[in-house]
Amino acid sequence: MKDPIPFPPGDWPALEPGWVWLCGAGPGDPGLLTLHALNALRQADVVVFDALVSEDILRWAPKARHIYAGKRGGKPSAKQRDISLRLVELARAGKRVLRLKGGDPFVFGRGGEEAQTLVQNGVPVRIIPGISAGIGGLAYAGIPVTHRDVNQSVTFITGHDQSGQTPSSLNWKAIAEGSQVLVIYMGMKHAARISAALLDAGRPADEPCAVVCAATTPEQKVLETTLGRMAADIAASGLEPPALLCVGRSVLMRQVLDWQGMMAGGAPRDLDPLARGRPAEAC
């Protein structure tokens, strides 16, 4: 029979019965899957997927049972343990289990907890990293998460904690002072509180910000704004999660690197948005 899904030859690992592979699916565009993820999809009996995994990706596992285990928007994490125990149950039933999560499973994805529960229950696991939305999603918006002229560090932040609130454990003053570029996951709901905290801590109101929604999908939308205007602009735009907030001057690079806009026929808005006054790579 002709293999319906072409796959590069190689010594790919076998997903054995009784194992759970915890795998990142990337931010949305199926092309951002890893080959290990595709190898897993081809072998799984069961794919347990969460809310941010696109349907297109599940098509790569046509023979597997697809089980939705999504949780949206800061709801209490009571169900998390049920999901993990379901995985244990499936593994014990001798299934080849693929647990598929948006982005990277270990970046704000509770992958650490799930994997720990599996190991505690004697279930063998493999971890397959994925492209996290905070990196790949920004790249699709034309925003380099680091740039030598802007930042020597980047901070990934969650905009809400397990109770759905802005995390009280975050030291916004230290964050504001310590990192030139901030990438905030799950920040839409509390955008007003987050921007107020950063402004209070001394970040300038005219600092460039971007809101990148549904990054890497056909519905991707990018709002360019400033820290001072961000919350009001989000409210006025009607934009919805999932979205990333990016605070920092790297957002300016979108004026030259909005490659999707250029693919659609747009011209770069500014070839030197950081005003370096010299060629991009002159030292």
Q: Does 46 bind ligand SAH (CB under 6 A)?
A: no
Q: Give the integer Cα–Cα distance in Å for 23 and 6.
A: 20
Q: Does 246 bind ligand SAH (CB under 6 A)?
A: no
Binds ligand SAH (CB under 6 A): choice among 46, 69, 103, 115: 103
Q: Look up 50 and say whether it is catalytic.
A: yes
Binds ligand SAH (CB under 6 A): choice among 22, 25, 28, 88: 28
CB of 216 to ligand SAH, least distance (A): 6
- Which stretch, 41-49, 80-88, 113-121, 241-249, contacts ligand SAH (CB under 6 A)? 241-249
Q: At what angle do helices 111-120 and 78-92 cross, to 10 degrees?
A: 50
Binds ligand SAH (CB under 6 A): choice among 19, 21, 60, 185: 185
Binds ligand SAH (CB under 6 A): choice among 33, 212, 234, 246: 212
**68-54-248 Cα angle (round to 5):** 115
Side chain identity at residue 33, one-letter code: L
Q: Does 243 bind ligand SAH (CB under 6 A)?
A: yes
DSSP element (H, E) containing 182: strand 181-185
Q: Which residues pair with 208 in a beta bridge?
A: 226
Binding mask 49-88 for ligand SAH (x = CB under 6 A): ---x------------------------------------
Assess contact for 133 and 105: CB atoms under 8 A. Answer: no
Q: Look up 233 and say whether it is catalytic.
A: no
- Which stretch, 61-69, 145-153, 163-171, 206-214, contacts ligand SAH (CB under 6 A)? 206-214
Catalytic residue chosen out of the listed positions 29, 95, 104, 186: 186
Nearer to ligand SAH, 58 or 215 (CB): 215
**157-107-214 Cα angle (round to 5):** 80
Q: Does 241 bind ligand SAH (CB under 6 A)?
A: yes
Q: Does 179 bind ligand SAH (CB under 6 A)?
A: no
DSSP assignment string, 131-169: --IIIIIHHHTT--S-BTTTBS-EEEEES--TTSSPPTT
Nearest CA-CA partner of 245 in 186, 197, 170:
186
Q: Give the integer Cα–Cα distance in Å for 93 and 194.
A: 45
Nearest CA-CA partner of 125 in 20, 44, 250:
20
Greatest alpha-carbon pair distance for the chain in Å reads 64
- Which stretch, 3-11, 112-120, 130-138, 190-198, contacts ligand SAH (CB under 6 A)? 130-138
Nearer to ligand SAH, 102 or 142 (CB): 102
Binds ligand SAH (CB under 6 A): choice among 47, 123, 133, 176: 133
Q: Does 191 bind ligand SAH (CB under 6 A)?
A: no
Q: Give the integer Cα–Cα distance in Å for 107 and 129.
A: 9
Assess contact for 276 and 164: CB atoms under 8 A. Answer: no
Active site residues: 50, 71, 186
